């Protein structure tokens, strides 16, 4: 029931469909199928039993990752005869129409030379809950509830609120997984929720606000966006400094929980 979750690309505003992959990660695919003959072999995807696989399925049709044709990203070298260049141009025009109609506001790119209070704020933080490391899709204070409201739209509440228990930022060794070599000289910033009650950690794992966590009958309108953290796959998101304003545990004393991101 949670496959093919409709969403909008936050970079260009065009429609996408979110699927789970076989490696427990997720991917945003372009809605609808495309003729396989016009898509390079290494860019083809197919969906089987609700799971997206990076290959063709032998049919004349295939799926395509949205990132390949997203007009807000740097253009990928594509064969001119494939038709994908024209599809990317069509999405760019659609983005312009959405902006002109006020239905979409692209994210503002700030000058990298200008100081920013969010300079050390991870856009995709590493979070520990239920003894597992996950990569979040948004900053900790922007993770949105996935439940459906009575108006049949997505809940706008975030998981972290002023009246909910918070985790703590700390530096931990960059651990290896699945038999990988360790990274003994590297540390990473981690938002640790391990000290929270089990029920609270489970609420975070389900990605539900406090209100909808108490209403199990409420349906989910989107998939939880947690990705199992892999230091080799997600090395670009590893941050070796604590976010600005976070509190360090006192030497020789208990960790202070309640540090906000």
Residues 19 and 52: beta-carbon distance below 8 Å: yes
CA geometry: angle at 81 spanning 80 and 85, to 5°? 45
Residues 65 and 30: beta-carbon distance below 8 Å: yes
DSSP 147: B
Describe the strand order of the beta sheet including 126-129 as a list of residue ranges: 168-174, 183-192, 126-129, 132-135, 227-228
Cα 51 to Cα 25: distance, rounded to the nearest angstrom? 10
* Per-residue confidence (pLDDT) for residue 251, from 0 to 100: 40
Paired sense of beta strands 15-21 and 51-53, if any: parallel
Q: Is the pLDDT of residue 133 over 80?
A: yes
Question: Which tokens sit at 9?
Answer: 């690309």
User: What's the whole-number mean pLDDT along residues 107-124?
Assistant: 54
- What pTM was computed for the model? 0.61
Q: Which of 75, 63, 73, 68 is nearest to 35 (CA)?
A: 63
Residues 91 and 71: beta-carbon distance below 8 Å: yes
Q: Is the pLDDT of residue 180 over 70?
A: no
E strands of the chain, at which residues?
Answer: 5-8, 15-21, 26-29, 34-35, 44-48, 51-53, 61-64, 126-129, 132-135, 168-174, 183-192, 227-228
In the block, which residue shows the tokens 């260009």?
Answer: 12
Cα 143 to Cα 211: distance, rounded to the nearest angstrom? 15
Give phi and psi for 67, each to the nearest 5. Answer: -60, -25
192-241 pLDDT per residue, tens: 999 999 999 999 999 999 999 988 888 888 888 898 888 887 888 888 88
User: What's the whole-number mean pLDDT along residues 110-137?
Assistant: 72
């Amino acid at each position: 029931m949670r496959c093919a979750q409709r969403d909008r690309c936050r970079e260009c505003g065009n429609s996408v469909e979110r699927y789970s992959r076989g490696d427990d990660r997720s991917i945003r695919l372009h809605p609808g199928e495309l003729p396989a003959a016009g898509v390079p072999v290494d860019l083809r995807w197919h969906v089987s039993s609700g799971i997206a696989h990076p290959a063709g399925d032998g049919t004349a049709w295939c799926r395509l990752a949205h990132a390949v044709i997203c007009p807000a990203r740097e253009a990928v070298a594509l064969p001119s005869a494939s038709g994908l260049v024209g599809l990317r141009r069509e999405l760019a025009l659609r983005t312009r129409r959405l902006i002109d109609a006020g239905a979409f506001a692209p994210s503002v790119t700030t000058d990298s030379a200008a100081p920013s209070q969010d300079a050390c704020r991870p856009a995709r933080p590493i979070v520990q809950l239920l003894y597992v490391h996950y990569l979040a899709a948004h900053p900790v204070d922007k993770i949105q509830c996935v439940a459906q409201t009575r108006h049949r739209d997505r809940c706008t509440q975030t998981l972290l609120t002023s009246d909910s228990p918070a985790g703590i930022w700390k530096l931990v060794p960059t651990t290896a997984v699945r038999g990988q070599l360790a990274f003994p000289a590297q540390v990473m910033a981690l938002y640790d929720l391990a000290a929270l009650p089990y029920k609270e950690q489970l609420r975070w794992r389900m990605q539900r606000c406090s209100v909808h966590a108490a209403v199990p009958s409420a349906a989910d309108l989107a998939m939880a966006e947690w990705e199992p953290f892999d230091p080799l796959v997600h090395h670009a998101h590893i941050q070796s400094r604590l976010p600005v304003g976070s509190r360090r545990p006192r030497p020789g004393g208990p960790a202070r929980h309640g540090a906000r991101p």
